[in-house]
Structure 1
């Protein structure tokens, strides 16, 4: 199986560079859809643990039990899924496009452009991918978090939810505060996704190189990876992404779910969280996040690699 989403190609012509970026865009979008379908229930648990008042839930299992009991299996596990499904296709598409572009930028500045990128160079390309992605990630995660938090608040009989769906959230946020309200938490999103993406792509590439089959005579890595190797590397990438940035994600979720008048800056949220529970307050939902990271990111990279393989068969390699 090809693994064109993360290996470093030789110097490209302008036409092949554009083709590579278009394919990265398409493959990333498909990988993102795979990630949402697999990972959304885990993400819902994480966000509800991060944003609930103390004592509402006793564990991740308690979140699942109460959510399903209140809303049924489909709505209980997939509340707020419309926002990530609408947002994740362009978000992951832009992420993998940005990564492909980042690799081309790093390659163009490398003293050895014909050699595979080093892991630090891959990490730099990954960081660059987060910059354009934030413009899409921040507003869609704002909407997703609001809908997920709304779903955990029981309503009095006969009272309708404040928001009827993703479009209604955007409409009300814009009415309340314009674009700054819609994009609230963007700085925290970039602070999470910059280093997170650097670790994400570096870990995937490192694991790919370690898991790649090797020529028995020369010991050199051979082209192609098994499905098992791709999913293993993808799972490892997801874990590597979350471990260093989880406290930032907690701050982001609190910022994006806060009502008007609540703590509205990163420093205010950090002080509030620390006063509430010390360092532990920055890690609610850590276990569900890691539990989600394994299958969701395995699915992401599997989807990306399968999409690249299909495009290579249909149109030839770039």
Structure 2
């Protein structure tokens, strides 16, 4: 025998009342409410569907905005990155300074090829790379909100932002590691002197992937993944935490209530992005040096072997070649990244809201 709708609603109501009366408020408030009628059930399903769709759309927008911001970062920052990698991987005495790298690179290959060697790999990979990073950050914030206590207005603390930033590096590493491997190999290849008539070992990004796969399979293509995650995990935590902290400091506030009284200007966004880039590089630069050495080594090497070799050659200073160019790149490249992300969000809000 089946119960009538009114009987089902009465029973559901009785269960709801019993739970609320027998359990502490802190517990009963977190329990799901049992619908007491078909209309209430339909309304709850509709509301839940709307919430899921809204969350999915927000993550899609983060994905698109991150990809656009990444393209801006590569266009602005690749020459600085090229100088950093060549200083990190060159033998002692090859270059006297960052400007020496620029002079020799331009004299050998011209302005475009000299400063944008290896740019094809990051340009192809940067859209999914940064897109996944900002999508992972958005997802990380959702996870933090569902697993920890947040402010009544839904805002996260800087520590919670940092945790969400660390999470963003986990899915991003699967894309970052192979593209960085290809990029640094092409960048280092550009600094080798060729004999008359000799051709470069690699003809381009796809040729690097083919040869690496032929030599050692997927493991060779993904060499340096652990070092990449070791760099990007804490780096992303510092990156997003610094950006959010500085944004909050620069946001106009009411002098009486202390509440935000206006939106952050685009110049303030670029300042926050620039500072976030510097905050990211300072703690992880030695790890990046190890990663670059690991990914450009022609023989099979280990992280421990690279660390020992670097320290034996120059002590702690050996882990910081190219530190100046890295910080110099961090300012314009990350300012461009977050400016691109914010502009992309504004454009999507105008188009779809």
TM-score (norm 2): 0.85
Instruction: Quote the residue 1:203 is aligned against.
Output: 242
> Does the CA-based 8 Å contact 1:107-1:113 persist in structure 2?
no
Equivalent position SS for 1:13: helix
Q: Per-residue deviation at 1:109? A: 1.4
Q: Which has the higher contact order (CA 8 A, sep 6+)?
A: 1
Work out the CA distance in 1 between the residues paired with 2:136 and 2:350: 24
Alignment of 1:1-318 (within 5 A): 13-112=51-150, 114=152, 115-261=154-300, 264-316=301-353
Work out the CA distance in 2 between the residues paired with 1:110 and 1:88: 32
Q: Deviations over 1:242-266 (max 9, x none)?
A: 00000000000000000024xx111
Structure 1 residue ranges, 4+ long, deviating more than 4 angstroms after superposition: none
Equivalent position SS for 1:280: helix
> Does the CA-based 8 Å contact 1:102-1:125 persist in structure 2?
yes
Gapped runs of 5+ residues in structure 2? 1-47
Work out the CA distance in 1 between the residues paired with 2:299 and 2:217: 13
For the pair shown, the structure with the greater C-alpha radius of gyration is 2
Corresponding residue pairs, total:
304
Instruction: Quote the residue 1:3 is aligned against.
Output: none
Work out the CA distance in 2 between the residues paired with 1:103 and 1:49: 37
> Does the CA-based 8 Å contact 1:82-1:166 persist in structure 2?
yes
Q: Per-residue deviation at 1:17? A: 0.9
Work out the CA distance in 2 between the residues paired with 1:256 and 1:59: 23
Q: Per-residue deviation at 1:227? A: 1.2
Gapped runs of 5+ residues in structure 1? 1-10
Work out the CA distance in 2 between the residues paired with 1:270 and 1:71: 32
Work out the CA distance in 2 between the residues paired with 1:186 and 1:122: 24
Work out the CA distance in 1 between the residues paired with 2:216 and 2:140: 34
